[in-house]
Amino acid sequence: MAATISIRNVSRRFGETWALRPVDLEVAAGEFIALVGPSGCGKTTLLRIVADLVEPSSGEVRIGPDTARRARQERLLGLVSQRPAVLPWKRAIDDVRFTQRIAGKVGFDPGKVLREFGLEGHEAKRARQLSGGMLQRVNIASAIAHDPAVLLMDEPFAALDEMKREEIGEWFDRELAMRPKTVLFVTHHIDEAVMLADRLLVFSPAPGRVLEVVDVPVPRPRDVSFRQDPRFVAIAAHVRGLLMHRQAA
């Protein structure tokens, strides 16, 4: 199940400082949107507004027909934070069960989710006994365990090395093909964004506004060979150009 997201004239100021200039975006059900832009341009702020963790200074968000507040209350959202709170002694399986208990909703069998995430045999391990890649998969498993319609991910693969990052990205792409969700995905990694997303929202430096919405008109999930595809190369170069030009300006 996936839901539409409608972001209408959403901005945020903290005191006198603009964290985010007004953003408008209509996201189709099942669409994957990557948010890229320099540090401090308001990516996390926008994600947290959609998650109903920050109030917008203007505008409104709808998840399907619901307000962000209602969507949160109805447990339609899954969130992978930029700084996940990891309790070192917590077992992987309990982490997944915990999300379901909070949501009051069992979407999937926690053991099955972890097995499908390649964590068979690690279910009873504690967070401190898992590698960074495994831990991140547990985080994602926990975020989707109650089967949310919308998944909000803030630099979920940032702690991983390049190889692991590509591997988990491919795995995640296939995972989404099995259980479609609408995704907002923040990353600093342009190649990762082009590999995974249907559209990229490219932000200017702070105070952030959307410079351009860039289409990646290639069906998902995508094969690794897409990295060599001329369309991939051209889109990544275009996005890099947008960001570099604006940084220098």
Ligand X SMILES: Nc1ncnc2c1ncn2[C@@H]1O[C@H](COP(=O)(O)OP(=O)(O)OP(=O)(O)O)[C@@H](O)[C@H]1O
Strand ranges for the chain from DSSP E: 5-14, 17-27, 32-36, 58-63, 66-67, 77-80, 150-154, 182-186, 199-203, 210-215
If binding is defined by CB under 6 A, does position 14 make contact with ligand X? yes
Which of 144, 146, 136, 64 shows the shortest CA–CA distance to 104? 146
Q: Considering the complex, state which of residue 81 and residue 99 has its C-beta at the smaller distance from ligand X.
A: 81
* Binding footprint of ligand X, residue count (CB under 6 A): 11
Binding residue (CB under 6 A) for ligand X from 28, 29, 30, 40: 40
152/195 with CB nearer Mg ion: 152
25 binds, among Mg ion, ligand X, none (CB under 5 to 8 A by kind): none
- Partnered with residue 34 across adjacent β-strands are 185, 200
CB count, 10 Å around CB of 220?
18
The contacts of residue 71 (CB under 8 Å, 6+ apart) are: 3, 52, 63, 64, 77, 150
Closest approach, Cβ 201 to ligand X, in A, equals 11
Chain positions 72 to 111 lying near Mg ion, rule: CB under 5 A, are 82
| Smaller CB separation from Mg ion, 117 or 157 | 157
7 binds ligand X (CB under 6 A): no
Question: Which residue number, 6 or 82, has a Cβ lying nearer to ligand X?
Answer: 82
What residues line the site for ligand X (CB under 6 A)? 14, 19, 39-45, 82, 206
